[in-house]
Structure 1
């Protein structure tokens, strides 16, 4: 079995079990170097300051600074999964995951930039533990979540229902920026698309290899990472997929963020929680800590 396949299968097992590693964050610490942040489950560009990032981790939500450090934002050390910011309200964020003591937290919302969180809903069959979640830029009331199958909310996260799901195991999901009914799924066999809110699915882009990550940029561009091939993208709903970068070696990208102020500025998290930055729309990458 190739290293890439082993990594993806390992990620799936860890996600299902909610397993973490040794703690790298000590409560009470003021900040740590960005390069020491680990177990990153989500990444987003700060809408108020595009030079800073939010990092959702196994030990809480962190905020990066220009000096190369990260400090804890959340008032707790919950394991935040499915982290996704509201596309137009800078202080509103959604997440799911596990409290420090174990169990599932359902759907959470923060209205103060990630400092405090409250349960918004349990989700269908919950409390859920969404390992991926995305808010539609086309209609922010529409939110998709991944918990076993795919769920959808059409009232800002207050109520949820089960949607359909691709036949292949789903790793990641991303709501289209073009239509609230279009949603993408990264699966073990490639990228899938639904045009009816998740009810039915069809393949799009390269097939036959796992798509470990799928992400939609503010301008509608869809990115996906195909294991063994690299990063690919499609301009909006055209679904004309083109290679972006295959120079990442054996790295596997799990999460991506695009700077709303500069579409060429990308940030990514790898399978080993390495933080990378690109200034040329993903063609080349550098460690964020450098």
Structure 2
């Protein structure tokens, strides 16, 4: 199976995977609130990662069965009793206690746009979104303006300018969209990792152009406060550039048939990174993405 077809197959997430994950949890003791990161990745799949801005030893892991926090020793602790399927997850860029999410409740349906103001312990629906309740699989808040949030539901890009209270449609999302990343410099700039390459929009998703010359699938994209953007491109590797120039350099070699799915960069130390690979394993790097090891 070639790089592109393997990528598309895995990214589509076979319909039976949630059921298999649920059975594994029941068989292994799904009520456990503390387990190793390795056990967590074996029991369920991870939808998002983030390092707390005020505590570099706090790694959020948004999963199919709730939000966990992992410590440097590799122990993951369930944060909330609400075992939502957090398909979309992103922290507030200025308020460490505030988190945003979307996805599915444990009993089925859609969550809409959720907010937690106590680091993920309790969640409330802030809005249903357009044609909602929405289930944002791709979602990000702008580090340049925390009131600006983007989300994608049913192939349509939605935009909020008031912190997620109200939403409007911006049009079709890029075809084959995998992940969104809002600019850390301009709230109207938006990056998209897609099955057809890495794209950028300078008008809030109205128009898109290539951000990187490769047309190979881009499986993840992330911006950081320093004005840099990172992306993983199949067959190329982990690349990094200044948002202003988009002159890319490879910081980590490609992984063959494996690839990155989600990327988190420590706000206090850009050399410290975390990712989830295509097998669902959480990995860490202490040298800016040049080398990786199991968390």
TM-score under structure 2 length normalisation? 0.92
Contact 1:188–1:209 (Cα < 8 Å) also in 2 = yes
1:238 is paired with a residue of what secondary structure?
Answer: coil
SS at match of 2:244: helix
Equivalent residue number for residue 197 of structure 1? 204
CA distance in 1, matches of 2:37, 2:99: 22
Within the candidate set 95, 98, 107, 2:104 is matched to 98
RMSD, matched Cα: 1.7
**1:139 alignment counterpart:** 145
Equivalent residue in structure 2 for 1:150, among 150, 154, 157: 157
How far the C-alpha of 1:5 sits from its partner, in A, is: 2.3
Query: CA offsets per residue over residues 17-76 of structure 1, 9 Å max, x none?
Result: 695232354343241111111201000002232022010000100011233210100122
- The separation in 2 between residues aligned to 1:200 and 1:164, in whole angstroms, is 9
* Alpha-carbon distance, 1:14 to partner: 2.2
- d(CA) in 1 for partners of 2:176 and 2:169? 16
> Match for 1:53 among 59, 74, 78?
59
**1:109 & 1:126 partners in 2: Cα distance?**
16
Q: Hey, what does 1:69 align to over in structure 2? A: 75
Q: Do 1:219 and 1:236's aligned partners in 2 also have CA atoms closer than 8 Å?
A: no
Query: Does structure 2 retain, via aligned residues, the 8 Å contact 1:166–1:192?
Result: no
Contact 1:136/1:175 (CA < 8 Å) preserved in 2? yes
Match of 1:14 in 2: 13
Using the alignment, how far apart are the partners of 1:69 and 1:167 within structure 2?
Answer: 37
Gaps of 5+ in 2: none
Query: Is the counterpart of residue 160 in structure 1 residue 167 in structure 2?
Result: yes
Is residue 187 of structure 2 the alignment partner of residue 184 of structure 1? no
Secondary structure of the structure 1 residue equivalent to 2:5 = helix
Call closer, same or farther: CA 1:81–1:259 in 2, change over 3 Å: same
Bigger mean CA deviation after superposition, 153-162 or 228-237: 228-237
Alignment correspondent of 1:237: 244
Aligned length: 286
CA contact (8 A) 1:7 1:271 kept: no
Cα deviation for residue 218 of structure 1 reads: 2.0
> CA deviation digits over 1:223-244, x for unaligned, max 9?
1111122111111221111111
Unaligned runs of 5+ in 1: none
Q: Give the Å deviation of 1:247.
A: 4.8
1:127 is displaced (CA, Å) by 1.2
